[in-house]
Amino acid sequence: MKDKGNRPSVLAVIPARGGSKRLPRKNILKIGEHPMIAYSIMAARKAISVTDWLVSSEDDEILEVARQYGAYTPFKRPKHLATDEVRNIDVVLHALEYMEREKGIIYDIIVLLQPTAPIRKASHIDEAVDRLWESGLPTLASVKGPYQKRDPILKRIDSEGNLIPYCNDQKLDPRGPFYIYNAALYAVKRDYFVKEKRFVSEKQVPLVMDKYHSTDVDDIADLIVAETYLEQMKKKEEV
C-alpha cells in the first residue's frame, strides 16, 4: 500500500469477464504490443493516487495474463458474478468487500477501470481522484466532447421507421455543447456507492477526455481504431 499522507484511500477495480460475445476474448486480444487488459493494468500501476488495485475475473487465462503484467489477482471471481446479466456494480461490490475485509481498511473512493479503454492514461486516473475528492459531489464520470449542435446531429428512428429529432424539448438550446460517457473511467465515493449501489448520481464531476483517449473497444472496428491511435501516439512520443 502506498503512503499518501492525508490523501484518500482509493481502490481501483479492473473487471475482465471471459465471455465477451461481440468480440470474443477481447480483454486479452493483442492491441499493438500488449493484450488489451495490459494497458489498464499499466495505467493503474502508474497512478500515484491509487492505494490498491486488482483485476477481477472468472477466467483462468485472463487472470494469468493479468499476473504476467504485475496485476494483483487475489481471487477468482465467482461464476454467478460472471454472466451477461451481472452488472459491474455487483462485481465492484464483491471486490470492495473482499479488499476491505482482507486489508482491514475502509476506502474513500472506488475507481472502475474498464479494460476496453486501452488508451486511458494514469494521469486521467489521478486527475479523476483529485477532482472527485475536492468536490462535494459523490461521483465522477469520464466523458468525450464537447460536441456542438446537439439537435441537428442526434436523431432517432420512430415506430414508423422515420428519422426524427432525438429530443423535441424546446427548452434545450440546440447550439449548446453536449458530452457523452466514454466508459473509460468512473469514480465514486465509497459511502454513496455502498448505500446507493450506483456509479452515477444526478450531478457528477466531469472528466473530459479527447476522442483518442476515449476509445472504447467493443467490436473489431473499434479494435482497428485503437491500434491505429496507439501506433500514432507512440510515433509522436518518439519524435
Task: Name the 3-class secondary structure at 7.
Answer: coil
Q: Which pLDDT does position 239 carry in this prediction?
A: 40
Q: Which pLDDT does position 150 carry in this prediction?
A: 58
Q: Which pLDDT does position 3 carry in this prediction?
A: 45
Give mean pLDDT in consecutive 10-residue pieces for the chain, a chain of 239 residues. 69 92 90 96 98 97 98 96 92 98 97 97 98 98 84 80 79 72 97 98 97 94 94 75
Q: How far apart are CA 236 and CA 199, in angstroms?
A: 34
Q: Which pLDDT does position 137 carry in this prediction?
A: 97
81 CB-near residues (< 8 Å, 6+ apart): 58, 90, 91, 94
Q: Which pLDDT does position 21 carry in this prediction?
A: 76
Top-level CATH class of 10-144+180-238? alpha beta
CA dist list (Å): 120 to 62, 76, 85, 229:
20, 25, 26, 12
Q: Which pLDDT does position 155 carry in this prediction?
A: 84
DSSP letter for each residue of 117-151: -TT--HHHHHHHHHHHHHSSSSEEEEEEEEE--HH
Residue 84 DSSP label:
T
Record the pTM: 0.90
Reply yes or no: is the peptide bond before residue 146 cis, omega within 30 of 0.
yes
